[in-house]
């Protein structure tokens, strides 16, 4: 009778350990999907006609200091906030034309971007942004706020930016800044 009780307790203990491991391992790969409150490209019109252009400002890090530097670009205007925001991030990924540093590893791609009615932009990058990112808190900060400031500065309806990697939440790019919350723009990081 005693061996039967020990056997049952052993099986229950192993089952408990397996459940705990499954619980903790499944949370890190949870995919975020847009809710029903996502602003679709058709819902928010920017009142632009096809063929028109628009000036945007991008923010790039520099070798000379730890600040972000403005760089103007002209891009084709679109009737959709989401499409123009995607173009803005693509321009940022293309790098500076004025000799500033790229905030991204060269292989980084934009996977998706969407904006909620509350003004939170979710920007989803390929895994290279994390896997091949330069180490150091200043390079991590430059990457995050190049993205956040470029979107918030150019689009009044974007209030916060949430950065996703490969379709899901990740703790950090390189161990210094938590990506588990949306970011507000920080214009005090911009060179005067």
* Domain boundaries defined on the chain: 31-189
Q: List the strands of the sheet with 110-116, edge to edge.
A: 38-39, 110-116, 120-125, 160-165
Between CA 155 and CA 80 the distance in angstroms is: 11
Backbone angles phi, psi at 64, to 5 degrees: -80, -25
Q: Which of 183, 37, 181 is nearest to 117 (CA)?
A: 37
- Separation between Cα atoms, residue 183 and residue 149, nearest integer Å: 9
Give the pLDDT band (50/70/90) at residue 36.
very low
More confident residue, 167 or 50: 167
How far is it, in rounded angstroms, from Cα 52 to Cα 29? 41
Enumerate the β-bridge partners of residue 61.
Answer: 68
pLDDT score of 34 more than 70: no
- Give the pTM: 0.75
Model confidence at 111: pLDDT above 60: yes
Residue 132, number of CB atoms within 10 A of its CB: 13
């Amino acid at each position: 009778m005693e061996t039967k009780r020990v056997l049952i307790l052993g099986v229950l203990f192993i089952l408990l350990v397996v459940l705990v491991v499954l619980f903790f391992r499944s949370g890190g790969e949870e995919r975020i999907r847009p809710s029903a409150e996502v602003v679709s490209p058709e819902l928010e019109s920017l009142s632009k006609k096809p063929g028109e252009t628009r000036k945007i400002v991008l923010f790039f890090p520099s070798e000379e200091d730890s600040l972000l530097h403005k760089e103007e670009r002209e891009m084709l205007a679109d009737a959709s906030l989401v499409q123009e925001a995607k173009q803005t991030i693509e321009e940022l990924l293309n790098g500076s034309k004025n000799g500033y540093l790229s905030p991204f590893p060269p292989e980084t791609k934009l996977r998706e971007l969407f904006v909620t009615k509350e003004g939170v932009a979710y920007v989803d990058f390929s895994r290279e942004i994390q896997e091949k990112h330069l180490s150091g808190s200043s390079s991590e900060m430059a990457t995050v706020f190049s993205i956040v400031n470029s979107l918030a500065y150019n689009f009044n309806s974007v209030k916060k930016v949430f950065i996703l990697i490969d379709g899901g939440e990740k703790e950090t790019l390189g161990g210094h800044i938590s990506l588990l919350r949306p970011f507000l723009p920080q214009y005090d990081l911009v060179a005067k």
